[in-house]
Amino acid sequence: MKNNRNYNFDNISIFKAISVFLVVFIHISATPVVESNNRFFFIIFDILNQFSACAVPMFIFASGFLLFYKYQKTKLNYGNFLKRRFSKILFPYLAWATLYFFINLKINGELHLLVTGNLITLTLLITSYIKGLILGTHMYHLYFVAIIMQFYLLFPFILWTTKKYSYKIVLPLALIITFALSSYRPLYADRIFLTYFIFFFMGTYASKHFKSFENAIIKAKFTLSTLYIAISTINCYYMYQIYQLHETPALIITKSKFVITGIIGILFYYFVSMTIQKANTITSKKPQKRTIKSLLLKINSGSYYIYLSHPLALLMVEFIFRRQAHIGIIYKSALSFIAVILIVMPLSILYAKRKTIRKIKSEDS
Question: Distance (Å, rounded) from C-alpha 89 to C-alpha 67?
Answer: 14
Provide the sign of the torsion angle of the four alpha carbons 141, 147, 153, 155, taken in this order: negative
Q: Per-residue pLDDT averaged across 268-292, rounded? A: 76
Predicted confidence (pLDDT) per residue in 97-125, tens digit: 999 999 999 999 998 888 887 899 999 99
- The answer to whether 189 and 146 have CB atoms below 8 angstroms apart is no
Question: Distance (Å, rounded) from C-alpha 267 to C-alpha 49?
Answer: 18
Task: Give the other-Cβ count within 10 Å of 140's Cβ.
Answer: 12
Q: Per-residue pLDDT averaged across 33-39, rounded? A: 89
Q: Give the pLDDT of residue 5.
A: 54
Mean pLDDT of the chain: 91
What are the distances in angstroms from CA 262 to CA 9, 69, 178, 202, 207?
A: 22, 21, 11, 11, 18
Q: How is residue 248 annotated by DSSP? A: P
| Residues in the chain, overall count | 365
Predicted confidence (pLDDT) per residue in 50-79, tens digit: 999 999 999 999 999 999 999 988 888 999
- Provide φ and ψ at 141, rounded to 5°: -100, -5
Name the pLDDT band for 281 (thresholds 50, 70, 90).
Answer: low
Burial of 99 (0-12, 13-18, 19+ CB in 10 A): middle
